[in-house]
A and B are shown apart, each in its own frame.
Chain A
Amino acid sequence: MTAENVIEAKGLTKRYGRAVAVDHVSFAVGRGEIFGLLGPNGAGKTTTILMMLGLTEISAGEVRVLGFDPAREPLSVKRRVGYLPDTVGFYDQLTAADNLRYTARLIGFKKAERETKIKDALERVGLAEFAEKRVSTFSRGMRQRLGLAEILMKDAQIAILDEPTSGLDPHATAELLAIIRSFKAAGVSVLLSSHLLERVQSVCDRVALFAGGKIALIGSVAELGRQVLGGGYVVDIEADGAGLAERLALIPGVSGVERTGIGKLRLHADRDVRPEAAAEVVAMQGRLKYLGVQEPSLDAIYTRYFETRPDEEMTMKEGARHAA
């Protein structure tokens, strides 16, 4: 294990009877990185996380978290790793601060240390004014933030977040993602799972796409885009002018032009041809209404990847059924 990697999984496998929920999964998470486990429900993301925390037994393979084996040294792992489960729960009859106090005492913090840590953590997630409110009055977004506060209080080196944004409104999601980014700024490595590809695309440094218990793709979003979408750039233009399409096709690097609507063209190119395209329109005295390059989106990558591999999609559905 290199010093750079905080989590290393090799051939990690989980079987339930004959069904395989996680099938020889290998990946590594670097220090200070935000790593996304993405995939549909039942693809094996949560099971992978449970194995990393020693909350379920590993059938085969191994995982090292900060160099510790979660099955043999669970306390060392759990002391350094913060975990936010899918739809985290708190003791409703206790206040936010009391909930954190209980966790802090379980961790074994001294009393004086406890209070300052709790205060700081609640402030960082914006719940300071709700510290003495009962959790039963909290919205879902506030509970998720309280969960993050728990991880902050713990001084965790790794934060493992299972579906942190599911069921949240856009505003709460944005707040939560901002806190997750602040984790990275504080040097905490983050491993998060989600089935909402677009939302997490913006925060993840690297992602692993899960399907049917296997990692289908792994890498940064841009890398995956090049790998799956064919490395091309797609430039959309909305402009008028006769013979524009023919002229645009002559720009070096453009491999194809297609008409997507009245006065709308889509260029496929091996580089960003926006400057040249704009120049052409202007040279023709045409009126340029829109010019934009499509960022590779995880949704597009995901859809494309499984469109071209119907076999794997079948196994993905199988896996989903087993895991469910």
Chain B
Amino acid sequence: MRREGSAFHGLGVVMLKELSDHLTSVRMRVLEWLVVLVALAALYGAIQQIKDTTAEDPFLFLRLFTTSRDPLPSFVSFVSFLVPLMAIGLGFDAVNGEYNRRTLSRILAQPIYRDALLFGKFLAGLITLAISLITLWLLVVGLGLLLVGIPPGAEEIGRSFLFLLATIIYAGVWLALALLFSIVFRSAATAALVTLGIWLFVTFIWPVLAGAVAQIIVPLDPRYTALGLPTPGTAQAEQILARLSPSTLFAEVVVAILDPTTRSLGPIYLSQLQGAVLGAPLPIGESILIAWPQTVGMIASAILLFVIGYVTFQRQEVRA
């Protein structure tokens, strides 16, 4: 039986309210400053490095994002580190916060569906993240122009914009995960800890673990080991396993987009490289093709996490 009315009635209202909550919250301001200061530091390091070393580079502008100077990591590493933190910070108490303030049953007693509440909260979080990331991106582009003094080409702008989009999608994955745990756990602290734990595991431990697990699934071939080469089967398994982590997917997308010379994201045989001019940049369309499966993977995992949260929320009893 079809249910009456639109599932999205009230969506806009919830979204605008959540958005204004986010944008005026102290939490958001702290996160913003953290991100801006850290990004500025990384950018400064990158610019120093570029001024010192680079004589000629067709993609000088993109180097702003990827160059690092000790002891600071590059802008890209900073972003991929901080964006999940921001997303988790915005999402970890989205639903259980309403429980704990005892507002949830009052809101759900209004003529709206739970869909509108959940979707509104997700969209508000995503828009908040998008606003901060776009600001950050404009900041970097502007400072790059001022400090390096070389105007970026159309392709460079295009690539850095794609990087921005990928970052927003990546933020969406973590936001959906945080939202899921805010539904599952009644305590906001538990939800935050579990989400952060998963982030740490997936980002720092899993890539290491993937190699070990891959060797169990496909044992190393001594013939390759004797030659000092990786066993193709094991390498493949390792990559498949590592790609279960959205952090790996994001890192691969970033490499493909921001480094035009990237030709493949996996191990390839020498025969496949026949005729290739190594080090020659690919056109932007080819880079997108390389990054596409990973991007779709990130979008899919965001949708999957959101759907799990949605189903859990629909079936939950609202007693508070």
Q: Which residues of A contact B3 (CB under 8 A)?
A: 72, 74
User: Is the C-beta of A55 less than 8 angstroms from some C-beta in chain B?
Assistant: yes
* Chain A residue at smallest Cβ distance from B108: A55
Of A81, A85, A150, the residue contacting B105 (CB under 8 A) is: A85
- Contact: A55 with B111, CB < 8 Å? no
Task: Name the distance in Å between A161's Cβ and chain B's nearest Cβ.
Answer: 12
User: Is the C-beta of B223 less than 8 angstroms from some C-beta in chain A?
Assistant: no
- Contact: A78 with B111, CB < 8 Å? yes
User: Is the C-beta of A108 less than 8 angstroms from some C-beta in chain B?
Assistant: yes
- Contact: B10 with A55, CB < 8 Å? no
A25-57 interface with B by 8 A CB criterion: 46, 50, 53, 55-57
User: Is the C-beta of B106 less than 8 angstroms from some C-beta in chain A?
Assistant: yes
* Chain A residue at smallest Cβ distance from B109: A83
Q: Which residues of A contact B29 (CB under 8 A)?
A: none
- Residue-wise interface mask of A (84-124) relative to B, using a CB-CB cutoff of 8 A (1 in contact, 0 not): 11011111110000000011011110000000000000000
Bound-state CA distance A53–B3 (Å) is 15
- Contact: B111 with A79, CB < 8 Å? yes
User: Is the C-beta of A212 less than 8 angstroms from some C-beta in chain B?
Assistant: no
User: Is the C-beta of A168 less than 8 angstroms from some C-beta in chain B?
Assistant: no
Q: Which residues of B contact A147 (CB under 8 A)?
A: 106
User: Is the C-beta of A132 less than 8 angstroms from some C-beta in chain B?
Assistant: no
- Residue-wise interface mask of A (51-70) relative to B, using a CB-CB cutoff of 8 A (1 in contact, 0 not): 00101110000000000000
Of B5, B9, B106, the residue contacting A89 (CB under 8 A) is: B106
* Chain B residue at smallest Cβ distance from A68: B4
- Contact: B111 with A75, CB < 8 Å? yes
Bound-state CA distance A212–B315 (Å) is 25
- Contact: B111 with A88, CB < 8 Å? no
Of B4, B13, B113, B317, the residue contacting A50 (CB under 8 A) is: B317
- Residue-wise interface mask of B (84-107) relative to A, using a CB-CB cutoff of 8 A (1 in contact, 0 not): 000000000000000001110111
- Contact: A87 with B102, CB < 8 Å? yes
User: Is the C-beta of A76 less than 8 angstroms from some C-beta in chain B?
Assistant: yes
User: Is the C-beta of B51 less than 8 angstroms from some C-beta in chain A?
Assistant: no
Bound-state CA distance A108–B5 (Å) is 13
User: Is the C-beta of B1 less than 8 angstroms from some C-beta in chain A?
Assistant: yes
Bound-state CA distance A107–B111 (Å) is 6
Of B1, B107, B318, the residue contacting A106 (CB under 8 A) is: B107
- Contact: A102 with B17, CB < 8 Å? yes
Q: Which residues of B contact A88 (CB under 8 A)?
A: 102, 106
With an 8 Å Cβ cutoff, the count of chain A residues facing the other chain is 33
Bound-state CA distance A78–B114 (Å) is 13
Bound-state CA distance A43–B199 (Å) is 43
- Contact: B105 with A106, CB < 8 Å? no
With A106-B14, A150-B106 known to touch, is A50 a contact of B111 (CB < 8 Å)?
no
With A46-B319, A106-B14 known to touch, is A89 a contact of B101 (CB < 8 Å)?
yes
Task: Name the distance in Å between A113's Cβ and chain B's nearest Cβ.
Answer: 15
Q: Which residues of A contact B317 (CB under 8 A)?
A: 50, 55-57
User: Is the C-beta of B31 less than 8 angstroms from some C-beta in chain A?
Assistant: no
- Contact: A85 with B106, CB < 8 Å? yes
User: Is the C-beta of B320 less than 8 angstroms from some C-beta in chain A?
Assistant: yes
- Contact: A91 with B101, CB < 8 Å? yes
User: Is the C-beta of A223 less than 8 angstroms from some C-beta in chain B?
Assistant: no
Q: Which residues of A contact B315 (CB under 8 A)?
A: 57
User: Is the C-beta of A295 less than 8 angstroms from some C-beta in chain B?
Assistant: no
**B1, B21, B102, most chain A CB atoms within 10 A:** B102
Bound-state CA distance A53–B108 (Å) is 9
- Contact: A89 with B103, CB < 8 Å? yes
- Contact: A106 with B13, CB < 8 Å? yes
Bound-state CA distance A84–B105 (Å) is 9
- Contact: B109 with A81, CB < 8 Å? yes
Task: Name the distance in Å between A117's Cβ and chain B's nearest Cβ.
Answer: 14
User: Is the C-beta of A73 less than 8 angstroms from some C-beta in chain B?
Assistant: yes
Task: Name the distance in Å between B159's Cβ and chain A's nearest Cβ.
Answer: 41
Bound-state CA distance A91–B14 (Å) is 13
Task: Name the distance in Å between A177's Cβ and chain B's nearest Cβ.
Answer: 21
- Contact: A107 with B110, CB < 8 Å? yes
Q: Which residues of B contact A78 (CB under 8 A)?
A: 109-112
Bound-state CA distance A72–B113 (Å) is 12
Bound-state CA distance A87–B9 (Å) is 27
Task: Name the distance in Å between B311's Cβ and chain A's nearest Cβ.
Answer: 14
Bound-state CA distance A147–B105 (Å) is 12
Task: Name the distance in Å between B103's Cβ and chain A's nearest Cβ.
Answer: 4
Task: Name the distance in Å between B145's Cβ and chain A's nearest Cβ.
Answer: 39
- Residue-wise interface mask of B (275-314) relative to A, using a CB-CB cutoff of 8 A (1 in contact, 0 not): 0000000000000000000000000000000000000000
Q: Which residues of B contact A150 (CB under 8 A)?
A: 106
Bound-state CA distance A79–B5 (Å) is 12
Give 3 closest A-B pairs by Cβ, nearest first.
A89-B102, A83-B109, A79-B111
A73-B4, A83-B109, A89-B102 known; 18 new pairs, CB 8 Å cut-off, are: A50-B318, A55-B109, A55-B317, A56-B317, A72-B4, A74-B4, A74-B113, A75-B5, A78-B109, A83-B105, A85-B109, A87-B102, A91-B101, A91-B103, A92-B101, A102-B13, A106-B112, A107-B110
Q: Write the residues of chain A forming the contact surface with B, with a CB cutoff of 8 angstroms.
A: 46, 50, 53, 55-57, 72-76, 78-79, 81-85, 87-93, 102-103, 105-108, 147, 150
27 A-B contacts (beta carbon < 8 Å):
A50-B318, A50-B319, A53-B109, A55-B109, A55-B318, A56-B317, A74-B3, A74-B111, A75-B4, A75-B9, A75-B112, A76-B111, A79-B111, A83-B106, A83-B109, A89-B102, A89-B103, A89-B106, A89-B320, A91-B101, A92-B101, A102-B17, A103-B110, A105-B13, A106-B13, A106-B107, A150-B106
